[in-house]
A and B are shown apart, each in its own frame.
Chain A
Amino acid sequence: MNRQPDDRALATLMRAAQAGDTQAYVLLLKEITPRLRQIVRAQRGFLRIEDIEDVVQDILLSLHVVRATYDARRPFMPWLVAIARHRLADAARRYTRRAAHEVQGESLPVTFSDEGTNLDRGEYRDPEALRQAIMALSPRQRDAVEMLRLREMSLKEAAAASGTSISALKVSVHRAVASLRKALANKP
């Protein structure tokens, strides 16, 4: 098969990565990341920069989990582009679904007139504590939080992905949030 020299270099790195070579893997991922960003930007120019980065990271994770499907006798780029195309399609479906459920509302500057309710508490200040608190959850609760809160999957999607029922997921996420609140409230 006649391959571009660039593709051959990437294929060599991928082969080394499949053999467990960490350096080659880092090099490969760093090499392809700007290309992926370019592909995502070209296909989904309307996305915000952080959303583009999110899709790129999703593609990198996908590549990582299916790296055994790469056959060194075949060109590398078509393999990579096929993964990117499928993940882009998934991201588009997610984006459309989210947009369909979004309600545009006027931003309300205050909640209640009492001053105490209007302090800026929009951002959580200690992500390390939050990470540790999430790690301390039971695997089931961690799954529920990760899927429903961090990845913003719908209940139906999360139930399908985890193989549990919607009501069990609701219970898990409710308990997880209660545990997180309790854990973070104890932090100084």
Chain B
Amino acid sequence: MTADTEKLIERLAQGVGPVRPLSPPWIRTAAWLLVAIPYVALVVFVVSPRPDLLAKASEWRYLVEQLAALVTGTAAAAAAFGMTIPGYDRRILFLPALPLAVWLGSLGEGCIRDWIQFGPDGLSLQPDWFCFPSIVLVGAVPAIAIAAMLRRGAPLTPHLTTALGGLAAAGLGNFGLRLFHPQDASVMVFVWQVGTVFILTAIAAWAGRYLLNWHSIVGTNRRSVLIR
């Protein structure tokens, strides 16, 4: 062993204190939901739930779409947490794929149904700028919480991990939005709401290199070890 490496080992060990091992991804996901869900509920309560919420709760199509959005967000969070654990089974990456497919599929099916029922009018698009800021508002605390939690893990795949974190927060944001925003036309939901979710996911993916990178954590540590 070279003298430098031996010295490094001694210095690393000198400052070693007890660390609390990270919980498995599904437990961390539950912890995240414990923070995120009450916040979403609070926003829905403050903005005031849509007047037809009780009636919508008995519509299976609405329920499927909402459940799929919620499960997509939850699965994406679990996948993001799994991606920060070295050696963890990488197949966890595909966990959100099924609920996402169900979500997109149910909206796609809704678009086809509207087309058959109303013709081209069924797919007409109107501006709905309310969606973007609302999803950002509802997803803000879940996003901050998941970013803080992901930073405790290893930055193995920064872009992918933060994209999954973004999908989790935005998915939850969309779930919350549909509890107070009475917009159910499939094409509108698809373009304005799911579109927003994808844009936020892309922004989160871009931010990955700033949020999670070895340079900052190892660099800071190297400096503290070297000047000790």
Q: Residues of A at under 8 Å CB distance from B?
A: 17-20, 22, 25-26, 29-30, 33-34, 53, 56-58, 60-62, 64-72, 74-75, 78-83, 86-87, 90, 131, 134-135, 142-143, 146-147, 151, 153, 157-158, 160-163
B156 at the interface (CB under 8 A from A): yes
Whether A62 pairs with B223 at a CB distance below 8 angstroms is no
B123 at the interface (CB under 8 A from A): no
Whether A61 pairs with B221 at a CB distance below 8 angstroms is yes
Give the Cβ gap from B15 to chain A, nearest Cβ, in Å: 9
B152 at the interface (CB under 8 A from A): yes
Selected contact of B4 from candidates A53, A67, A68, CB within 8 Å: A53
Whether A153 pairs with B215 at a CB distance below 8 angstroms is yes
B2 at the interface (CB under 8 A from A): yes
| Interchain CA distance A163-B24 in the complex, whole Å | 30
Whether B86 pairs with A69 at a CB distance below 8 angstroms is yes
Write out, one digit per residue, whether chain B residues 43-86 have a CB within 8 A of any chain A CB (1) or not (0): 00000000000000000000000000000000000000000111
B20 at the interface (CB under 8 A from A): yes
Q: Which A residues are in CB contact (< 8 Å) with B215? A: 147, 151, 153, 157-158, 160-161
Q: Which A residues are in CB contact (< 8 Å) with B88? A: 82
Closest residue on chain B to residue A68 by CB atoms: B19
Whether B16 pairs with A82 at a CB distance below 8 angstroms is no
Selected contact of B12 from candidates A29, A66, A68, CB within 8 Å: A29
B216 at the interface (CB under 8 A from A): yes
Whether A86 pairs with B85 at a CB distance below 8 angstroms is no
Interface residues of B toward A: which range? Answer: 35 or more
Whether B213 pairs with A70 at a CB distance below 8 angstroms is no
Tally A-B pairs: CB < 8 A: 129
Q: Which A residues are in CB contact (< 8 Å) with B156? A: 82, 86
Q: Which B residues are in CB contact (< 8 Å) with A61? A: 8, 12, 218, 221-222, 225
Q: Residues of B at under 8 Å CB distance from A?
A: 1-2, 4-6, 8-10, 12-14, 16-22, 24, 84-88, 152-154, 156, 209-210, 213-219, 221-223, 225-227
Q: Is the interface of A mostly helix, strand, loop or mixed?
A: helix
Whether A71 pairs with B85 at a CB distance below 8 angstroms is yes
Whether B217 pairs with A65 at a CB distance below 8 angstroms is yes
Selected contact of B5 from candidates A56, A131, A157, A160, CB within 8 Å: A56
| Interchain CA distance A112-B20 in the complex, whole Å | 60
Task: Kindly list 5 other residue pairs between chains A and B, CB separation below 8 angstroms, not including A30-B1, A69-B22.
Answer: A20-B16, A30-B6, A33-B1, A53-B5, A69-B86
Closest residue on chain B to residue A34 by CB atoms: B1
| Interchain CA distance A131-B227 in the complex, whole Å | 7
Selected contact of A65 from candidates B18, B22, B221, CB within 8 Å: B221
Q: Which A residues are in CB contact (< 8 Å) with B226? A: 131
| Most B Cβ at <10 Å: residue of A57, A131, A142, A160 | A57
Question: A29-B13, A69-B85, A71-B85 given as contacts; is B218 within 8 A of A58 (CB)?
Answer: yes
